[in-house]
Structure 1
Amino acid sequence: MSTTAADPTGTGPSLGEPTEAPPASPPTRPPLGRRALTGLSFTNIGAVYVWIVIIVVFSFWAPDTFPTWQTFQQVLNSNAVTGLVALSVVPPLAARVFDLSIAYTMSLTGVITAKVIISTDIGAGGAIALAMGTALVIGVINGIVVVTLRVDSFIATLATGSLIQAFITMFTDGTSITGVKLLREPFASIGQKSAGGFTIPVLYLLVVAVALWFVLEHTASGRRLYATGFNSDAARLQGVPTDRLRFLTLVASSAIAGCAGVVFASQIGSGSPEAGTPYLLSSYAAAFVGATQLRAGRFNSWGTVIAILLLGTGTVGLGLATSAQWAPSLFTGLVLIVALVVTGGRLGLRTRLTRRRAPRKEAA
């Protein structure tokens, strides 16, 4: 066989024989400077820049009280429970499921813990175990109604929340459960112990945030959860157990909300039948704002923590700068509307792109 000019050794393939394609070069990462600019862009961490603006505004508005280390401690300490409740809705939202029963679950675990401690000799450990078991049962019931019975999650969890509130009212007669035992150790230390000016619920917030970050960002289950939220039909065709994941997110949501209820009962030294109601709006506001940060279009834990700091700074600042009781609610509502507009647009774009790519993969 004669050789060609391109193969002077005569060892290459003859004409008509298939040749192997050269190996594809690995994708090159963008330069460090460009990656840094992308990470610091307003699109990626816009809430951080808004937070800085809020700090500057209130520093001029209330210069004597706001720009202090004590105010920063107050922002974290007073919003740690809010952060726990906000993180409780991140897993179901990542799977495109709403859990509106979290506020009532929080109230129920608080009153159960307080009632058992006051009325029995079980102790704080047994009371907390009973309350958390109740929270898990609520999560299972939500999962059965939403996943097994195929009831829309918004309506289903609103209905279960109403049932929980009815049980709370029957259980407490609409009055808070108080007693000296709730102010004693070890129960009091769960929500009141502090170090360096920061209360222990701040540590709980960080632990839950790290746990959710690891599960959502660094495990196969987290990737499947996001796939379920972006396009459940496509995920199901790829073998993702979408129903099981949605079921588990509702259980996890109730468990975290239950923890928040126990911590709050320890903080205030009583079991309030209305403890969780004020946290519903702020928790969803934080979760939706968080979905515009760091992992745009994805509900994530650290974005939610950033949103908690933003909302907490705004509400604390308004409390120091003005005595208007309606101002914090107005601020939270406006932030939620803006977050819904931004997040809805990004999630819709991501979903459309996913659905456009799916047929191409099947055709290939």
Structure 2
Amino acid sequence: MKLPPIGQLGPFIALVIACAFFATQSDRFLTGANLSLILQQVMVVGVIAIGQTLIVLTAGIDLSCGMVMALGSIVMTKLAVEMGLPAPLAILCGVGVTALFGLVNGLLVTRVKLPPFIVTLGTLNIAFAITQLYSNAQTVTDVPPLMTWLGNTFSIGGTEVGFGAVLMVLLYLGTWFWLRETAAGRHVYMVGNNPEATRLVGIPTDRVLLGVYVLAGVFYGLASLLSVARTGVGDPNAGQTENLDAITAVVLGGTSLFGGRGVILGTLIGAIVVGVLRNGLTLMGVASVYQVLITGILVIAAVAVDQLSRKGAR
């Protein structure tokens, strides 16, 4: 049986090493309760990172993802709490708003031909402003039980597992299958590898790109619901670091920032690696500023490895 390339095994190796190290530093690390907690802590960023991965695979980037997620959570909670909309309809509206932002990003990238970095930097600020104005910078409380249901847990062998974490894993598996087994999924890789050659063989590259941005917006909406489920409120101040955390998960997961190369399941491992690092360092009593420092070093190292591997492949 042929083993995957070392670039794809890298995130898994990093996860194993991190877990082994922290297991020697704290008796609590490898307990079922702590491992379940890690999954619950990364589920919001993990789902955002699915959308981010799809965009990065096309050689783009989305800086607005965290604030768009926050806006989605405010929309769905305010519609349910203050407007009295049924929770399912309010959730759909919230996801619709995040998908709309994805559509706007996609149209500006494909039709106006603006760089994704500039487009999403602009929509980040727009989403932040709308979130603050619409919420009056106030947290939305007393949300319906249906919106917090994914924050509940069920027991497996005495360990409490979150429904939201299960949903995250299922979303990754579904996206992995779509990218690997369908023509539409393979087109995403082709656009990232060589958009001009892809266009010349008859694949509508702009349509693929637009679809990717809209789909990413849908994932941000699902992350909005998970954020509400985890915290029990609609928080207008959420999402301010999630964009960088999502990019970190994508990069650590082995997806190339230059597009066309990466495995979506690697992003899941990358998100878990970040969660493991922060959890393990917290158990060791390390200050949070050092956690940020180590994460930054890892990101630079991962991008450097990607760049060197690209040069070596030429």
Q: CA deviation at 1:140?
A: 1.2
Q: C-alpha distance in 2, partners of 1:263/1:155?
A: 28
2:174 alignment partner in structure 1: 211
Cα distance 1:157–1:297, how it changes in 2: closer, same or farther (>3 A)? closer
Question: Contact (CA 8 Å) 1:105, 1:135: kept in 2 or not?
Answer: yes
Q: C-alpha distance in 2, partners of 1:202/1:61?
A: 26
Q: Report whether the alignment pairs 1:74 with 2:37.
A: yes
Q: C-alpha distance in 1, partners of 2:150/2:19?
A: 30
Question: Contact (CA 8 Å) 1:297, 1:343: kept in 2 or not?
Answer: no
2:101 alignment partner in structure 1: 138
Q: C-alpha distance in 1, partners of 2:149/2:275?
A: 23
Q: C-alpha distance in 1, partners of 2:7/2:227?
A: 34
Map 1:1-364 → 2, pairs under 5 A: 32=1, 35=2, 38-39=3-4, 42-62=6-26, 64-178=27-141, 180=142, 182=143, 184-196=144-156, 197-291=160-254, 298-347=261-310
* Paired letter, 2:183: A
> Which one has the largest radius of gyration?
1
Question: Contact (CA 8 Å) 2:147, 2:228: kept in 1 or not?
Answer: no
Cα distance 1:318–1:225, how it changes in 2: closer, same or farther (>3 A)? same
Cα distance 1:215–1:57, how it changes in 2: closer, same or farther (>3 A)? same
Question: Contact (CA 8 Å) 1:106, 1:261: kept in 2 or not?
Answer: yes
Question: Contact (CA 8 Å) 2:110, 2:206: kept in 1 or not?
Answer: yes
Q: CA deviation at 1:193?
A: 4.1
Q: CA deviation at 1:254?
A: 0.9
Q: CA deviation at 1:105?
A: 1.0
Q: CA deviation at 1:72?
A: 1.2
Q: C-alpha distance in 1, partners of 2:311/2:251?
A: 14
Q: CA deviation at 1:187?
A: 2.2
Q: CA deviation at 1:234?
A: 1.6
Aligned residues: 309
Question: Contact (CA 8 Å) 1:191, 1:267: kept in 2 or not?
Answer: yes
Question: Contact (CA 8 Å) 1:59, 1:66: kept in 2 or not?
Answer: yes
Q: CA deviation at 1:56?
A: 2.0
Backbone CA RMSD of aligned residues: 2.0
Higher relative contact order by CA 8 Å / sep ≥ 6: 1 or 2?
2
Cα distance 1:242–1:345, how it changes in 2: closer, same or farther (>3 A)? farther
Q: C-alpha distance in 2, partners of 1:175/1:347?
A: 47
- Report the TM-score when normalising by structure 1: 0.80
SS class of match (1:198): strand
Q: CA deviation at 1:194?
A: 3.5
Cα distance 1:186–1:44, how it changes in 2: closer, same or farther (>3 A)? closer
Question: Contact (CA 8 Å) 1:97, 1:246: kept in 2 or not?
Answer: no
Question: Contact (CA 8 Å) 2:191, 2:260: kept in 1 or not?
Answer: no
Unaligned runs of 5+ in 2: none
Q: C-alpha distance in 2, partners of 1:343/1:265?
A: 35
Q: Percent identity?
A: 25
Cα distance 1:93–1:349, how it changes in 2: closer, same or farther (>3 A)? farther
1:305-356 CA-to-partner distances (Å, cap 9, x unmatched) read: 1112222111110111114121221222122111111223445666xx5xxx
SS class of match (1:136): helix
Unaligned runs of 5+ in 1: 1-31, 354-364
User: Runs in 1 of length 4+ with deviation above 6 angstroms?
Assistant: none
Cα distance 1:255–1:338, how it changes in 2: closer, same or farther (>3 A)? same
Q: C-alpha distance in 2, partners of 1:148/1:129?
A: 27
1:245-280 CA-to-partner distances (Å, cap 9, x unmatched) read: 111111011110111012111221111112112211
Q: C-alpha distance in 2, partners of 1:67/1:223?
A: 38
Cα distance 1:149–1:248, how it changes in 2: closer, same or farther (>3 A)? same
Q: CA deviation at 1:204?
A: 1.4
Q: C-alpha distance in 2, partners of 1:307/1:73?
A: 16
